A and B are shown apart, each in its own frame.
Chain A
Amino acid sequence: MVERWRRRRLAALATAALLAPLAGCGGDDGGVPVINVYYAPEQNFQKVVDDCNQQAQGRYRIAYQVLPRGADDQRVQMVRRLAAEDDGMDVLGLDVTWTPEFASAEWIREWTGEHKEEASRGTLEQPLRSASFEGRLYAAPKNTNTQLLWYRTDLVPEPPKTWDEMIKMSLDLKAQGKPYEIDTMGAQYEGLVVLYNNMVASNGGRILDDEGTEAVFDQKAVDALATLQRFASAGVTNPSFTNTQEDGARLQFQSGSGAFQLNYPFVWPALQEGAPDLKDKVKWARYPGMSDGSPSKVTIGGYNLAVSAYSKHPDEAFEAALCLRSPEHQLFSAINDGVPPTIESLYADPAMDEAYPFKADILAQVKEGANRPLTPAYQNLSTVLAATLSPPAAIEPERDAEALRASIQDALESKGVLP
């Protein structure tokens, strides 16, 4: 097959050389297929792309099309073009929560056979689940992510294991007039839903049933509402809590007013550069759980690579996607861009030690982690949930749970109005 390809290419080249003076500007029609990869901005991703182009040896050429920085903007751009059956997109970088939605809308191709096997080999279970829909694989997990607890060793000798413990420690520090804040994301957006999902999962609660079609909202999910309310109203948050997103939380902690921060690992390199006086006083630990003795189950994030249903070169697109998320390239991205790999064996690689001193905690959390509810209507569900949870201090657990059961069911069936 490859041989034949080569010969054909040679023939094509020879013909091209003969015709070149006549054609002048023929374009690359019939030449090397260009695979357009739409992916979030990642500083060193172009190097991965270049490397894959070299490995492709002329079978295809990947063009990295950088999506906007905001997750919503990324999704909106892709969705708009897919709805118009745009064939200019081949490989799509999907946030883990979008995969079921794109699969249900028939915008992305199922992964089968060899490709499927290669995408799942050695891949961690939770990220792989996020890439599946109705028992079928629709994407290849490229990287995962999870939040850790970052704390000030000069204020907190032993990291807290549970939320209640952490709130109590914070209040004690406050009483002593020391920095006490627990800085994390509380704005009305996805980050607040993740915070709540962490509490629900750690508590063993459920928001949806296993099929993802019924809103359950069991008692443990209601208890998690109460914990979130307690945390938000205890006076341990930053004044901007209800308007804080990831970077805001990082800045609050870096400014020195926080004793704890719950955030993604990107805060670590930023701390080294942005707050030299703090960097030796900050350590990390597992995200706090809901009760003693049962460790937390934390939401996983990250990106999956899918192949557009409208791609004109699906075979090459699958190959390109597999190359971009190959073990070697995941390791490269982990070290250079700080995105945790989805392949378990990579965590044992000593090359990760320096960039990822906390790799053991990340691996443990991802292995025992939790996905957000997997449903095509996740965006609706998240919007409704964020609106009801905001502001968290005003939550009334029983009443809100009752309202959420109805509004989430509507959201799942795309019946209601989104706030």
Chain B
Amino acid sequence: MTATEAAAKPATRSAARRARARLSEGKKAERRLGWLLCAPAAIVMLAVTAYPIAYSVWLSFQRFDLKFPDEREFVGLANYATVLTNGYWWTAFGVTMLITVVTVAVELVLGMGLAWVMFRTVVGRGLVRTAALIPYGIVTVVAAFSWKYAWTPDTGYLASVVGDGAPLTERASSLAIIMLAEIWKTTPFMALLLMAGLALVPEDLLKAASMDGATGWQRFTRVILPVMKPAILVALLFRTLDAFRVFDNIYVLTAGANNTSSVSMLTYNNLMRGLNLGIGSTMSVLIFLAVAIIAFVFVKLFGTAAPGSSEEGKR
């Protein structure tokens, strides 16, 4: 669009009018074509996401346990009442919130540092960037197993560092280890998104700020952060949504022992192991709602948008 407008400028007025008329016609055709091109993807999306979601909602209104096929019946909101008044659910919800808030906060700080290093490195830039991304490249379950063995007394190298006990047998230390594994794993992802934001900060702006006598900290908080805000919000949104659905690390490290289950872990236990489609679907619908609320808050209240898209719209 910008390109066509720019091309239209030097033309004479009448030519411009003609061009505009032609454009709007072309625009219509373009829009139609756009819809047609989108349609297959939209239909596939509906089939693979909307249908399962609707089916989950439908299942969540039923008493439906695969073990007792004859006892299937419609129970309305009874499953929601069962789950929302259950202690295990709220414990798991608390654990999930704790993990989400702590890991995302720590990842933001560490990720910023790592992004800065990756961005500013002069020597061996490729090597530094590759090395920083290794944890993100390792399969979560594999990494979780190595953490597990590392923290197991007798076989692990980390367990002896912290003393005699077995850290994965107590709640606080288990949660700390789960969060550590999460942070180790996803900080590079955060750093990658933030590095894209750093690249948006114009060098001239920083030079001008230092000419005006801004200290390093002031340049960071007054110039870099505001310019980076869209990138930071997107990074936070992605990570928060991901962190809220934490599963692999818990599944491997503690399997939910000592009240370390997250909501996803609890859902898996009810759905896959308990074969209780009613209760399990209720939980997955609740997780879906929670994730939707998080996304809504980020998009509407903090104004998160795809990086660069808001500026493009203004220009």
Contact = CB atoms under 8 A, between A and B. Distances in A.
A376 B66 CA distance: 10
A187 B63 CA distance: 31
Interface stretch (A48-56, A109-117, A377-385): A377-385
B67 A72 contact: no
B266 A414 contact: no
A416 interface: yes
Contacts of B69: 105-106
Nearest to A186: B169
Contact of A391 (B83, B169, B270, B274): B169
B67 to A, nearest CB: 5
Contact of B67 (A80, A414, A418): A414
B172 to A, nearest CB: 13
B298 to A, nearest CB: 29
B158 interface: no
Interface in B258-293: 258, 261, 266, 269-270, 272-276, 279
Nearest to A79: B275
Interface stretch (B160-168, B201-209, B226-234): B160-168
A376 B83 contact: no
B88 interface: yes
Contacts of A414: 63, 65, 67-68, 274, 276, 279
A106 to B, nearest CB: 6
A158 to B, nearest CB: 29
B269 A255 contact: no
Interface stretch (A4-12, A193-201, A236-244, A263-271): A236-244
B261 A419 contact: yes
Interface in B33-78: 63, 65-69
Given A239-B153, A415-B82, A417-B83, A377 B166 contact: no
Contact of B279 (A75, A376, A417): A417
Nearest to B67: A376
Interface bin, chain B = 35 or more
Q: Give the interface centre of A79, A241, A390, A418 by most chain B CB atoms within 10 Å.
A: A418
A80 B275 CA distance: 9
A252 interface: yes
Contact of A243 (B65, B168, B274): B168
A176 B257 CA distance: 34
Interface bin, chain A = 35 or more
B30 interface: no
Q: Give the interface centre of A101, A239, A241, A243 by most chain B CB atoms within 10 Å.
A: A243
Given A104-B67, A239-B166, A417 B155 contact: no
Contact of B257 (A76, A83, A243, A415): A243
A189 B255 contact: yes
A391 B88 contact: no
A418 B66 contact: no
Contacts of A419: 88, 256, 261, 266, 269
A70 to B, nearest CB: 10
A240 B152 contact: yes
Contacts of B89: 417
Interface string A328-341: 00000000000000
Contacts, number: 99
B83 A101 contact: no
B82 A416 contact: yes
Q: Label chain B's interface by main secondary structure.
A: loop
Given A239-B164, A240-B169, A243-B168, A418 B273 contact: yes
Interface string B181-197: 00000000000000000
Interface in B137-167: 152-155, 164-166
A227 interface: no
A377 B68 CA distance: 9
B236 to A, nearest CB: 31
A104 B169 contact: no
B14 interface: no
B272 A80 contact: yes
A11 B274 CA distance: 50
B86 interface: yes
Interface in A171-220: 187-189
A417 B266 contact: yes
A400 B83 CA distance: 21
Interface string B11-48: 00000000000000000000000000000000000000
B88 A380 contact: no
A327 B50 CA distance: 54
A418 B154 contact: no
A414 B65 CA distance: 7
A76 B251 CA distance: 14
Contacts of A251: 154-155
A80 to B, nearest CB: 7
Interface string A94-111: 000000010011100000
Contact of B165 (A187, A239, A252, A387): A239
A387 B270 CA distance: 14
Interface in A101-144: 101, 104-106
B82 A243 contact: no
A76 B272 contact: yes
Contacts of A187: 257
Nearest to B83: A417
B279 A252 contact: no
A318 B83 CA distance: 42
Contacts of B153: 239-240
Contact of A188 (B67, B165, B255, B274): B255
28 contacts: A79-B272, A83-B66, A83-B275, A101-B67, A188-B256, A188-B257, A188-B258, A189-B257, A239-B169, A240-B166, A240-B169, A243-B166, A243-B254, A243-B257, A376-B67, A380-B276, A383-B273, A414-B63, A414-B65, A414-B276, A417-B82, A417-B83, A417-B86, A417-B89, A418-B266, A418-B269, A418-B273, A419-B261
Interface of A: 72, 75-76, 79-80, 83, 101, 104-106, 187-189, 239-243, 248, 251-252, 255, 376-377, 379-380, 383, 387, 390-391, 414-419
Given A240-B166, A251-B154, A376-B68, 10 more contacts: A104-B67, A105-B66, A189-B257, A239-B153, A239-B166, A379-B274, A390-B257, A414-B68, A416-B82, A418-B266
User: Considering the complex of A and B, which 4 residue pairs feature the smallest CB-CB distances, nearest first?
Assistant: A188-B257, A414-B65, A240-B166, A242-B169
Interface of B: 63, 65-69, 82-83, 86, 88-89, 152-155, 164-166, 168-169, 254-258, 261, 266, 269-270, 272-276, 279
